[in-house]
Structure 1
Amino acid sequence: MNDRQQRTLYQWFEESALRHTGLPALEIGDEVLTYGELRALALTLADRIAAKHGSLPARVALAATRSVAAYAGYLAIQRLGAAVVPLNPDYPAQRNLDIAQRAGVEVALVDTRSADLFTRLPERHRPTVLGLDEDERVSGPAIEVLERSLPPVPDDPDREAYLMFTSGSTGQPKGVPIRHRNTSLFLAHTIERYEIAPGARLTQTFGLTFDASVIDLFATWGGGATLVVPLAADLYRPIDFVVERELTHWFSVPSVIREAQRLGNLPLGRAVNLRHSMFGAEPVTAQHAELWRAVAPNAVIHNVYGPTELTVCCTNHALSGPTEDWPEFSNGTVPIGVPFPGMEMVLLDESGLAADEGELCVRGAQRFGGYLDPRENAGRFVSYEADGGPAEGYGGSTALTDRHWYRTGDRVRRENGLYVHWGRLDQQVKVRGFRIELGEVEAAVHRHPHVIDAAVLALPGPDGETELVGAYAGREVDPERFDAWLRELLPLHMVPASLTHLPGGLPLNDNGKTDRKALARILDTTEGS
């Protein structure tokens, strides 16, 4: 492993800051900070943290977003060698407090919206709290003095870089610690693959509580490029933002684009400066890819895949050239592609043997080392070696090693050397005796030319039996004609009992994904019965 593959997140930033001091690093609205200015602000905040806390913390909560102070705060935490625990100021206060307490944060950086968050705790349980001043600038010690007062730049790749919390099946978020060694090879590959270099301009659509923000921040800064931060309103008119800010790279969930199309804010052929467009966190349909080709005719389109436990994303499939040259996608979605360097993948069938279709299991440099609560590791890993018999589940009674495979819970098929996502294993349902993959039904609904977005759920019907119900956004289709159209694609037992047109779009969660719990409440056929 070479030097570029052993860096901490802060080292990725600092090398660019020292090499490209006068180049723009961060752009928010009309405000632009150079690499030198952003580094100076980060050092100032790091010095404030160390001085107020009195020692170097191991984990620091960051309750701020989309401000100069928030990004400088993220870098300040990394400069001290601490792990960032991002909190969303828009989340319920109790959720943020639960996460902070479970993470054992010693310090919290908070913006004005979260200024009183930790006053809810007894004083003896409160972390050291520092308010982030939006007008914070280097007005104190000179940079040389700050550097001498701070510890050496952290260089241990085994330290935690950040701690994210994902939704858990028990209803309690699961803590996912990611170490610098997990991020470094990933960043080296990402910067090279997507040609991120000085002069490139990348957007930052993901919130800091979503691990895709690590690409936004550190692939941008590691490549010496400029991070251009959109405001919430900009995401409703993404192409105007792309053109006005002269972006070269776009990275978002597909829902951002579908919502813009629904609102009529997706003009074709204008985003000619885009060189790379990346989409992830949700399936990318063929229809979506073809639409984006018309929007950004010169961009390579990338479908990336990866759960938080595998450090942002671990596969990529690229589409370039005219759409008529693209292969047909078997289930209507773009393949998730092939694994990144340093990653191994195997598909395990129900008997625990390697197959061309089954649960995707992954190990390698980007795989995390286990959950914050070790009890949650049980059932999430397997031991498997080729020609060594069926996979054996990990029960948690022995040490977790790098040889264990992480179970993604995703059903994947290998087709022509590529991995194709066929839905979640937990989305397999039984309806009147038939086993049905919800992802397969959704893929069929997505194929209708008037549909922009769609989701299908299995809910109790009026008679108490489970039935398929769905919702879609786009142009409204006559229900009888839609039903007849679907029967040409699907067996009768897979055709939803109802498809509800939602002119306002499908409900989305904070990460831009379809909020299935909210959708279930909308579609619940038993209500009022």
Structure 2
Amino acid sequence: MDQTHALHDRFLRGLAKSPGGVAIRAANGELTYQELHELALSWAGSVLAGAGSPKAVGVLAGKSKEAYAGILAGLYTGITMVPLQPAFPAARTKQMIEAAGVEALIADPASASALDQLRAEGVDLPAFFPDATDTAHRLPRPRAVAPDDVAYILFTSGSTGKPKGVPVIHANTDHYFRLLDERYDFGPEDAFSQFFDLNFDCAMFDLFCAWGCGGTLVSITTQAVRDLPAFVRDNGITVWFSTPSAISLVRRLGGLHDLDGLRWSFFAGEAITCQDAADWAAAAPGSQVENIYGPTELTITVSRHVWTDDSARIAVAGVVPIGLVHEGHEWFLRDADGNADVTEGELCIAGPQLTAGYLEPAQDEGRFLERDGLRFYRTGDRVRRADTGDLLYLGRLDNQVQVHGIRIELAEVDQALRDCEGVEDAVTVAFPVDDSVELAAFYTGTKVSPGLLARALSRTLPQAVLPKRFTHLQEFPLNSNRKIDRTVLTRWALDR
């Protein structure tokens, strides 16, 4: 049975090209392609033998070498793989486990405490801490999958207070990576940065671009960013991919220079400024710099803009264009009345990278639409079409923001605050700080100490998106339409 559509088949291609080459270099060690393949086959067999045929397998692990083996093992089982972030609050992870139908867990040793916290939340699933010597149930080969089988499930923020599960099928990733194979000249000699957490869709770019060509995946540590030129040089990194906020961080740490070994530099997850793109290009003169864009619902990224000296000329508000939509997709710009506009509006996209919808169909409402016999995803991003054909990013239409690379609905933070004792109503706003974004929360009801509110929110929200400021109000400011005036609240957040 032809399995070239399978996401894990990309690893097998890398294995054939570079069996003795390093597949992953993490802080706790490295594994060759052959070693990683053998581990994944053994671990996948152990899961299937110990848990039967679970609906989905969760991988609860950080960026250890065992984590990458767990991701591959989950795919080798032929069932749905769900990356889970051990640093997330246990209550939030429990929501994801229940929504995705996870019935078994693969965990690395460092995630034992996260597993204990899940147990305390009532999660009682078989958990596997794979051992390299456990080969009793080793699979002879990865199990076969169909193109429309779900490869993995990732979660985005939901305005109702519940994360939204996005199932991505093998056909989605097959189209995506075939396009990248045609576009880029990646090979076994390349070393790829692995900057993103494994529950973030951009991490799939890292893993399967590297593994598809037989290259080396290098996990980026905190120490690496402190002296990035040395880290890039010592690890032979040629392909860099991160959020744009990493640029300002590297600049502040004095490392935005001598990145001569880079051939390709990619940025995604949030808007990138022309100044940051130009500074990175100057620090990495041998690298092509690209802004690649796409929500999780459209499989990792679905457009790209190649940075040139002319990019700033067409940019709006100093933000790099998101460029051209991938081939094979249809798109249009939707105006406020729901009609197509030739120049400006909400970007809506249909095509082979579009996922079928959320795990809970009720969450599809307002995000997908039918037009000309096609199903489109409403990105919520307002864009303008330039004379060059490039799409220019103008901002969000809704209350969804990117905070430290994590996509969050402000309404989800509001709801979490309303659930705190003493809080009657709450409004969260985003404001710029040092080329990044932070959150400020305003609430009514009984005045509560910021520490108590932060601790309460940390049970359900990732640490990175906790509001940095909490302000108690007797009442919210209202605009002329008698609605809460977010503009005023944002100004207050900036003033304070």
Measure the CA separation in 1 of the matches of 2:76 and 2:219.
22
Change (3 A) 1:34 1:471: closer
Structure 1 residue aligned with 2:182: 192
TM-score by length of 2: 0.79
SS in structure 2 of the partner of residue 291 of structure 1: helix
Q: Structure 1 residues 524, 514: closer, same or farther in 2, change over 3 A?
A: farther
> Over residues 285-312 of structure 1, what are the superposed CA-to-partner deviations in whole Å (9 max), with x where a residue is unaligned?
1101111011101110000110010001
99-108 or 356-365, larger mean C-alpha shift: 99-108
Equivalence for 1:496: none
Q: Structure 2 vs 1, CA of residues 30 and 169 (structure 1 numbering), >3 Å: closer, same or farther?
A: closer
Following superposition, the deviation at residue 65 of structure 1 comes to 1.3
Measure how far apart 1:523 and its partner are.
Answer: 7.3
The alignment-based identity, stated in percent, is 35
Provide the rounded CA distance (Å) in 1 between the counterparts of 2:44 and 2:179: 29
C-alpha distance after superposition, 1:380-431 (max 9, x if no partner): 112223xxxxxxxxxxxxxxxx821110111010002110110001269xxx
Instruction: Judge conservation of contact 1:26–1:228 (CA < 8 Å) in 2.
Output: yes
* Deviation of 1:369 (Å): 0.1
After TM superposition, give the deviation of residue 471 of structure 1 in Å: 4.4
Distance across 1 between alignment mates of 2:178 and 2:358:
25
Higher Rg: 1
Match of 2:138 among 125, 146, 149: 146
Q: Which residue of 2 aligns with 1:209?
A: 199
Deviation at 1:48, TM superposition (A): 1.2
Q: Is the 8 A contact 1:239 1:265 kept in 2?
A: no
Q: How do 1:223-242 residues align onto structure 2 when only pairs under 5 Å count?
A: 223-242=213-232
Correspondence 1:277 to 2:265: yes
Q: Distance in 2 between matches of 1:523 and 1:230?
A: 34
Aligned ranges 1:4-403 → 2 under 5 Å: 7-29=5-27, 31-53=29-51, 55-111=52-108, 112-120=112-120, 126-132=124-130, 136-138=131-133, 140=135, 146-148=138-140, 153-262=143-252, 264-268=253-257, 270-320=258-308, 323=309, 327-355=313-341, 356-385=343-372, 403=374
| Alpha-carbon shift at residue 517 of structure 1 (Å) | 4.0
Deviation at 1:137, TM superposition (A): 2.1
Deviation at 1:110, TM superposition (A): 2.0
Matches of 1:326 and 1:74 in 2, distance apart? 39
Q: Give CA deviations for 1:184-206 in whole Å, capped at 9, x if unaligned.
A: 11012223323221111101000
Contact map agreement 1:278 1:301 (CA 8 A) in 2: yes
Taking the aligned partners of 1:265 and 1:341, their CA distance within structure 2 comes to 39
The alpha-carbon deviation at position 526 of structure 1 amounts to 8.2
Deviation at 1:470, TM superposition (A): 4.9
Number of equivalenced pairs: 425
Q: Distance in 2 between matches of 1:86 and 1:304?
A: 22
State the alpha-carbon separation in 2 of the partners of residues 341 and 138 from structure 1.
45
8 Å CA contact 1:257, 1:266 repeated in 2? no
CA displacement, residues 29-88 of structure 1 (integer Å, 9 cap, x when unaligned):
4733211111011111112111211x2222111110111111101111100112121211
Distance 2:494 2:330 in 1: 46
Superimposed CA distance per residue, residues 495-514 of structure 1 (whole angstroms, 9 cap, x where no aligned partner): xxxxxxxxxxxxxxxx9998
- Structure 1: 5+ residue runs without aligned partners? 386-401, 429-437, 440-456, 458-465, 475-510
Contact 1:40 1:138 in 2 (8 A): no
Q: Aligned pair 1:412/2:412, yes or no?
A: no
Asked if the contact 2:25–2:219 (Cα under 8 Å) also holds between the matched residues in 1, the reply is yes
CA–CA distance in 2 between the matches of 1:473 and 1:69? 35
Local SS of the residue matching 1:426: coil
CA RMSD of aligned residues (A): 3.2
**Looking at both structures, which has the greater relative contact order when contacts are Cα pairs under 8 Å and sequence separation is at least 6?**
2
Inter-CA distance 87–10: structure 2 relative to 1 (3 Å threshold): same
- Deviation of 1:20 (Å): 2.1
Q: State how far apart, in whole Å, the 2-side matches of 1:275 and 1:40 are.
A: 31
Summarize deviations over 1:207-261 as a string: whole Å, max 9, x none: 0111111001111101211101122332343333222212100000011111121
Matched to 2:264, the amino acid is H
SS of residue in 1 equivalent to 2:217:
strand
Within 2, Cα distance between the matches of 1:47 and 1:76?
Answer: 8
